[in-house]
A and B are shown apart, each in its own frame.
Chain A
């Protein structure tokens, strides 16, 4: 069990983390979604003991201080910056980090092989990392975090700067890790990633959590209604009541149940030349909570 209570950290006048409280359920993937500078990475650094919090408390499996060596044994970290030795091969990197966690002999060999397979780098295991593409290095960065088989993973923006193919590969592997029952803290500023991978999402800005819940709960609570935009073939009979606004043949309306409303209109004889349904997403939630877009 991991608990964070009232965590605060400032760098001079800047409040990087401002009273954050979180509790991880075993086996869940919790996403920290927010723009750059929201405080996501600082929380991770405090969790691993690399940064000291100004106040607040952390509990890692009953240990109150992450700087205690044993508390870190079951954490795996994939830092946002590619943290690899370019002069070493993928296999050497994995062996090195595995040994630091006490792996040796057959167990080390097994884990290194498993991590290479997971990263899709088994056939490039003997190549120096500085010869890798960005996507390959990013996959190895993830593999180094899990080579020692940790139950708790801290993945700090693990898809930054990768090609769509590698990105998809990483998604699939994280989903596999989820199925294994690992608890994951996943930071990102891509709402699609949070929506796809996270069981719960904490929306962050300026060091604070603005909202926390499942994706559906957040959308339901903060996303507002769906917007339907349509172009009609012809004007319907006066007996058919159209919702929203009609501008020529262009119809626009907001609704809680877009599909049901469209079905009702079709049954009433309305014909659509074009139909768009905009469902609210986390971007809409963020916009509603902060007044700006995630990538502003």
Chain B
């Protein structure tokens, strides 16, 4: 045990003095965590994203201004006053999601049910979801505005009188139809007159989406960093693995391995020392990243004890992988190159670049073959997925098994190469 510690401490001391290795093992993963965390929405306390639209008021009436105010008050929209040309150009350039144009005559057309359009919307045809969302918001605003007008008896009477006049002037109506319509509208005005006090109290808002209070699922990431830090942990492990895989070959090319082999220690102990150094580095890197995440980025840990277990399992797994990667070549360049290639693919399919839950189905299926996936999943399980012990058993078992098999295969091959 003392010999293994001596060997491991030597490697850790060398690593601590190698600035470029330290960058890849600690700084690079941290940068990844911060960058991807910010991309995924950062700390979660930010303003909700709003759809940015331009508003052109060509009517410039009391009614159009009131409608514009209604639209501007929406939680979901950021409204920018603009001109028709400028607004449409900004949509084309992607600066605005849409441009809403309140047409001349808006106040006469807006109330409802006429063929004359009250407004136009310029929007990128590919943004169908946003178009539908905006249409819903406009209808909601329209009905809200109508409700407001109905709540005012004078405005309500004027609106119905104007509507009646407009309808009666429609060509093709017979005298009987016109009389019936006039009578209907008069009764309607009387009905809305009785309803006005209720509407004024806001008891019957039109077009407002009924909502049910929903508590956010606790098994969801509370911030972007909850997603990015497991990825960063994977990169930290990968950095450690490449560093130590190369260091085994370096010992051979430098000749220090020969000196170690002359020493009165079994060959397996040399490998055990290297493995101990790699595992210790994995644990230290994971601990450092987690502590930075908690202290500086508000990373929440669902189960600290489980996290300790996961760190141990991941360190075991990646130490074994290190041993296997170290036999992929006889030179530092060969092992460094092949290790980078293998681990990048491992990270790509393991959720180190794209979060697992965003991956397409085929990629998620393929990710099962990447130890990186199981490491990320296990870290997520301890951070925010709230894995039960039974749920955690699967990724942890996979990690330990992959580590043990890789170590055995690598050690055997290494022994053969050095014979």
Report which A residues bind B (CB closer than 8 A). Answer: 45, 48-50, 52, 69-70, 72-73, 75-77, 79-85, 87-88, 92, 96-97, 99-102, 128, 144
Is there contact, CB below 8 Å, between B13 and A97? Answer: no
Is there contact, CB below 8 Å, between B261 and A49? Answer: yes
Which residue of chain A has its CB nearest to the CB of B254?
A: A83
B263 to chain A: which residues have CB within 8 Å?
A: 72, 97, 100-101
Is there contact, CB below 8 Å, between B264 and A79? Answer: no
Is there contact, CB below 8 Å, between B262 and A50? Answer: yes
Query: 10 new A-B pairs (CB below 8 Å) besides A79-B258, A100-B3, A101-B264?
Result: A45-B258, A69-B266, A79-B259, A81-B255, A84-B254, A88-B10, A88-B13, A88-B14, A96-B6, A100-B7
Query: Assuming A88-B14, A100-B6, is B419 touching A52 (CB within 8 A)?
Result: yes
Q: Out of B2, B3, B262, which one reaches A77, CB within 8 Å?
A: B262
A100 to chain B: which residues have CB within 8 Å?
A: 3, 6-7, 260, 263-265
Give Cα distance in the complex from A50 to B10, angstroms. 22
B258 to chain A: which residues have CB within 8 Å?
A: 45, 48, 50, 77, 79, 81, 83
Residue B256 lies at the interface, judged by CB distance under 8 Å to chain A = yes
Cβ contacts B234-265/A at 8 Å (1 or 0 each): 00000000000000000000111011111111
B75 to chain A: which residues have CB within 8 Å?
A: none
A83 to chain B: which residues have CB within 8 Å?
A: 254-256, 258-259
* Shortest beta-carbon distance from A53 to chain B in Å: 12
Query: Assuming A77-B258, A84-B256, is B264 touching A72 (CB within 8 A)?
Result: yes
**Size of interface on B: residues with Cβ below 8 Å to A:** 23
Give Cα distance in the complex from A76 to B258, angstroms. 12
Give the dominant DSSP class at B's interface: helix
Residue B217 lies at the interface, judged by CB distance under 8 Å to chain A = no
B260 to chain A: which residues have CB within 8 Å?
A: 100
B259 to chain A: which residues have CB within 8 Å?
A: 77, 79, 83, 97, 144
B418 to chain A: which residues have CB within 8 Å?
A: 50
Q: Which chain B residues in 23-65 approach chain A with CB under 8 Å?
A: none
Q: Out of A84, A92, A99, which one reaches B13, CB within 8 Å?
A: A92
Which residue of chain B has its CB nearest to the CB of A75?
A: B262
Is there contact, CB below 8 Å, between B262 and A72? Answer: yes
Q: Which chain B residues in 171-198 approach chain A with CB under 8 Å?
A: none
B262 to chain A: which residues have CB within 8 Å?
A: 48, 50, 72, 75-77
Report which B residues bind A (CB closer than 8 A). Answer: 2-3, 6-7, 10, 13-14, 17-18, 254-256, 258-266, 418-419
Give Cα distance in the complex from A184 to B94, angstroms. 81
A-B contact pairs, 25 of them (CB 8 A): A45-B258, A48-B258, A49-B261, A50-B258, A50-B261, A50-B418, A70-B264, A73-B264, A79-B259, A80-B255, A81-B254, A83-B255, A85-B14, A85-B254, A87-B13, A87-B18, A88-B10, A92-B10, A96-B6, A97-B259, A100-B3, A100-B265, A101-B264, A128-B17, A144-B259
A52 to chain B: which residues have CB within 8 Å?
A: 419
A84 to chain B: which residues have CB within 8 Å?
A: 254, 256
Give Cα distance in the complex from A101 to B263, angstroms. 6
Is there contact, CB below 8 Å, between B17 and A87? Answer: yes
A82 to chain B: which residues have CB within 8 Å?
A: 254-255
B255 to chain A: which residues have CB within 8 Å?
A: 79-83
* Shortest beta-carbon distance from A43 to chain B in Å: 14
Give Cα distance in the complex from A144 to B255, angstroms. 13
Is there contact, CB below 8 Å, between A69 and B264? Answer: yes
* Shortest beta-carbon distance from A243 to chain B in Å: 54
Which residue of chain B has its CB nearest to the CB of A73?
A: B264
* Shortest beta-carbon distance from B118 to chain A in Å: 76
A128 to chain B: which residues have CB within 8 Å?
A: 17
A92 to chain B: which residues have CB within 8 Å?
A: 10, 13
Give Cα distance in the complex from A70 to B10, angstroms. 23
Nearest 4 CB-CB pairs, A to B? A83-B255, A81-B255, A100-B263, A73-B264
* Shortest beta-carbon distance from B116 to chain A in Å: 81
